[in-house]
Amino acid sequence: MQESQTGSSSERAVKIIRKHDGIIRSSAALAAGISQRTLHALLDSGILEKFSRGVYRLTELPPLANPDLAIIGSRVPRGVVCLISALAFHEITTQIPHAVNVALEKGMEVPRIARLPLSVHHFSRQAFQSGIEEHIIDGVKVRVYSPEKTLADCFKFRNKIGMDIVMEALKLYKERKSFNADDLVKYGKICRVEKVMTPYLEAVL
C-alpha cells in the first residue's frame, strides 16, 4: 500500500512538473502539493535532477543547450544578460565569456550562485530597463539585451572590455543582423555614448 501511494504521488508530481515545462522551483512544487519527500524520491530514482539551488528539472528533457544562461533565468529572474554574454548569445562576437555578464538595476542585491562565475554590472534605471528581450532558453525565460542595446552598453564599457571587442561586434552585427541605426542611436543616447558611437557607426554605414 505504501509503495502504491508513493508511486501515485510520484506520477502526480511528474505530471505537475511537465505542466511547468519540465522545470520547477521547490517553492512552486510545494505550492502545487508536491512534498519534499516526493521530490527526494524523484531525485533518488533519477526521474528528476537538480538544475540549480531550489530548482529541479526532469531528466527526460533534451540535454541543455545553454545551461549557464538558463540558470541565470531561473536564479536571477530580474537580471538581464549583457555585454560579452549578450554578444555571444546574439552571435556577434568570437569571444568566449569567462563569466556570465549580468546587469542589475542600481540597488539590487548581487546574487551568489555556486559554481557559476558571474560578472555583475549595475545600471541606472533607464539604462537597465531599456532594450530587454525575453527568450526561452532550455525551457527557462531569460532576459537578454537586444543586439543594439548590447552594442551601446559595450561602447559604455569599452575601457573595461576592450575597444577591439566592441569593433568586432559592430562589424559582425552589420554582417549578420538587420542594421538598425535608429535603435543604435536611441540606445547610444540612453547610455550617454552617442557622441562616441557616431563616428564608428558612420564608418560602417
Q: pLDDT of 73-116, one tens digit each?
A: 988 999 999 999 999 999 999 998 889 999 999 999 888 887 78
Looking at residue 49, what is its pLDDT? 87
Q: Are strands 55-58 and 48-52 parallel, antiparallel or unpaired?
A: antiparallel
**Domain limit, last residue, from 11, 32, 58:** 58
Question: Based on the domain organization, do 50 and 75 belong to the same domain?
Answer: no
- Whether residue 4 is predicted with pLDDT greater than 60 in this model: the reply is no
Backbone angles phi, psi at 34, to 5 degrees: -90, 120
The number of C-alpha atoms within 13 Å of 186 and in the hemisphere containing its C-beta is 11
Q: Domain check: are 49 and 101 in the same one?
A: no
Asked if 52 and 74 sit in the same domain, the reply is no
H/E stretch holding 78: none
Q: State which residues form the domain around 19.
A: 2-58
Q: How many CB atoms lie within 10 A of CB 167?
A: 15
Residues 123 and 54 occupy one common structural domain: no
Whether residues 54 and 89 fall in one domain: no
Q: Please identify, among 32, 58, 84, the residue that sits at the C-terminal boundary of a domain.
A: 58
Q: What is the pLDDT of residue 7?
A: 62
Neighbours of 108 (CB within 10 A): 15
Residue 20 phi/psi, 5-degree rounding, is -95, 25
Residue 1 banded pLDDT, cuts 50, 70, 90? very low
Q: Please indicate, yes or no, whether residues 54 and 73 belong to a single structural domain of this protein.
A: no
Residue 197, SS3 per DSSP: helix
> Based on the domain organization, do 49 and 92 belong to the same domain?
no
Q: Name the DSSP class of 56.
A: E
What band does 2 get if pLDDT is binned at 50, 70 and 90?
very low
pLDDT tens digits for range 41-68: 999 999 998 887 788 888 888 877 788 9
Same domain, 76 and 48: no
Residue 74 sits in the same domain as residue 139: yes
Choosing from 29, 58, 87, the residue where a domain stops is: 58
Range in 84-88, 116-120, 123-127 with the lowest mean pLDDT:
116-120
Do 11 and 82 have their domain in common? no
CATH code at 189? 3.30.460
Could you tell me if 69 and 134 are in contact, meaning their C-beta atoms sit under 8 angstroms apart? no
Q: What pLDDT does 42 receive? A: 93
Report the domain count for the chain. 2
User: What are the pLDDT digits (tens) for 150-183?
Assistant: 999 999 999 999 999 999 999 999 998 889 999 9
Residue 8: pLDDT above 90?
no
Are residue 136 and residue 42 in the same domain, yes or no?
no
* Three-class DSSP category at 98: coil
104 and 151 part of one domain = yes
Which CATH number covers residue 34? 1.10.10
The model carries a pTM of 0.79
